[in-house]
Amino acid sequence: MKNITLYSDGACSGNPGAGGWACVLIYDEHKKELSGGDNLTTNNKMELTAVIEGLKALKEPCVVDVFSDSAYVINSFNNGWIDNWQKNGWKTADKKDVLNKELWQELLKLSNVHKITWHKVKGHADNELNNRCDELARCEVEKLLKSV
């Protein structure tokens, strides 16, 4: 299986508001940047979408290292939250509906195709690829705001 590095980030102007997502995929010496946005969304939706779109771009099962500054995304897998949500009928520990359930289900389906290791990185720090994703996501937000 190919070894892929996936960096992702989401951004929002207002929450909810115009949002952007971005990811950078790296395989050997190849690098691919993807980004997009939504007129009315939340930051968490954009964080999830960034990882989903990155995984959807892979054409075969891979070993993937996912890097994100989103504790929401990373902790859901590393701390077993997503397993508990499934066991509890997509309810949180305090019996509320899990927000963004459809996105979580799509991400879970994609994550079952690949062998993923989830890595939390510090946002807005000196991580070049995380900063690139942030820049691309913010550019998507700006495009949406200018088109209104």
The two structure tokens encoding residue 36: 């997009």
Question: Within 10 Å of residue 118's Cβ, how many Cβ atoms?
Answer: 18
Q: What is the pLDDT of residues 96-126, one digit of tens each?
A: 999 999 999 999 999 999 999 999 999 878 8
CA neighbours closer than 13 Å in the CB half-sphere of residue 9: 24
Distance CA 141, CA 137 (A): 7
Tell me the backbone φ, ψ of residue 146, rounded to 5 degrees: -75, -25
- Has 106 been labeled as part of a binding site? no
Q: What is the pLDDT of residues 8-46, one digit of tens each?
A: 999 999 999 999 999 999 999 999 999 999 999 999 999
Q: What is the pLDDT of residues 72-94, one digit of tens each?
A: 999 999 999 999 999 999 999 89
Tell which residue, 140, 148, 146, has the closest CA to residue 19: 140
Alpha-carbon distances of 109 from 9, 30, 130, rounded to whole Å: 20, 26, 24
Instruction: Give pLDDT, residue 147.
Output: 85
* 68-103 as b/e: b if 16+ CB within 10 A: bbbeebbebbeeebbeebeeeeeeeeeeeebebeeb
Instruction: Give pLDDT, residue 42.
Output: 97
- Has 134 been labeled as part of a binding site? yes
> What residues are annotated to the active site?
9-10, 47, 69, 124, 134
Residue 109 neighbours by CB under 8 Å, 6+ apart: none
- Has 38 been labeled as part of a binding site? no
Predicted TM-score (pTM) of this structure: 0.96
- Has 53 been labeled as part of a binding site? no
Instruction: Give pLDDT, residue 25.
Output: 98
Please give the span between the terminal C-alpha atoms of the chain, in angstroms, as a whole number. 44
